[in-house]
Amino acid sequence: MSPSDGVPISLGDLAKACGVPLSGDGAVLIDRVATLDGADKGAIAFLSNPKYRNRLATTRASAVIVSPEDAPGTALPKLIADNPYATYARVAAILHPASAPAPGVHPTAVIAPDARVAASAAIEAHAVVGGRTLIGERASVGAGTVIGEDCSVGADCVLHPRVVLYPRTQVGARTVVHSGAVIGADGFGMAEQDGRWLKVPQIGRTLVGADVEIGANTTIDRGAIGDTVIEDGVKLDNQIQIGHNCRVGAHTAIAGCVGVAGSTNIGRNCKIGGAAMIAGHLEIADGTVVSASTGLFESVHSPGVYTGTFPALPHRDWRHVASAMRRLRSIVERVRALERARSEEA
């Protein structure tokens, strides 16, 4: 079975490709994915959130992807998966494959004479590839992307338009970097002397592993002395800042607008919610979950869910709470004084 690219595929073939059981007519043809509400003939929809369960009865999809628990809720042909959302992702990739540019170098691209570009790679208009840089097999370098000297871009990488890789950056195989991302810029290293700032040279590198995805306008600074490392399988959303000398462990996912200060080590298989702020020089254990908007100022040595966000309140209520919190220290001191007095009386 080949990718669809608009050509219908039988539900039975999709079941085989995804390795999940089929219930119902496997000959039904599917040519696209859709939501339960937006689906019609030829579309396959999925249910992973229980709050949408009642929509199974009204969807016009030709087939659905459901969990074993939800399978009895519809007579439609279906793929039955323990993780319907992951199965949907596989189906969507089959039905809607990404288009690949034709191999070759656009006439307006600027390629250094000593750069090595695989014949199967695609270098689009106005891209720049610096000296001694290696572009791997089937890699795609988008229009206006700039790759500095001594870089390495692995096989099957996709660098979308206007990505910037600073010199000596390495990007592993099958990694995707979205537009506006900057990898390997100077870290924020400054030494204060006599009320002035001295720039500390940033002489490390940025090393990005295989199967990583880096979102639009995300920035990853190179190391000050050692390297900044993004391990295999890491997924970074848009507008994230990763400071110098950080390490992000394999298969960790970080949502948008997160800031990670320098020299912090984030473990493997962590999940970090949007707009979380992580201070520098911390250690975060494998498998840690950091909730959205949480400020993390101390190392986390035991995995778990960490939350530091105060729930939103009507402004007038928030003012009362804030006023009480300002008095909290004095209240604690008074309680301790009362406890000491009671202890002395006893």
Rounded Cα–Cα distance for residues 143 and 161 (Å): 5
Closest CA to 42 of 10, 90, 18: 10
Rounded Cα–Cα distance for residues 314 and 221 (Å): 39
* Coil, strand or helix at 165: strand
Question: Distance from first CA to last CA of the chain, Å, rounded?
Answer: 83
* Coil, strand or helix at 209: coil
Paired tokens of 272: 């970090």
How is 23-83 classified by DSSP, letter by letter? ES-TT-EE-EE--TTT--TTEEEE--SGGGGGGGGT---SEEEE-TTTGGG--S-EEE-SS
Closest CA to 96 of 172, 14, 179, 37: 14
Q: Which residue reads 């079975």 in tokens? A: 1
Identify residue 92 by its one-letter amino acid code.
Answer: A
Paired tokens of 217: 């306008």
Rounded Cα–Cα distance for residues 72 and 59 (Å): 15
* Residue 110: other Cβ atoms inside 10 A: 13
Establish whether 244 is a catalytic residue: yes
Element (H, E) at 332: helix 328-345
* Coil, strand or helix at 167: coil
Catalytic residue among 106, 160, 244, 251: 244
Are residues 140 and 158 in contact, defined by beta-carbon separation less than 8 angstroms? yes
Positions marked active-site: 244
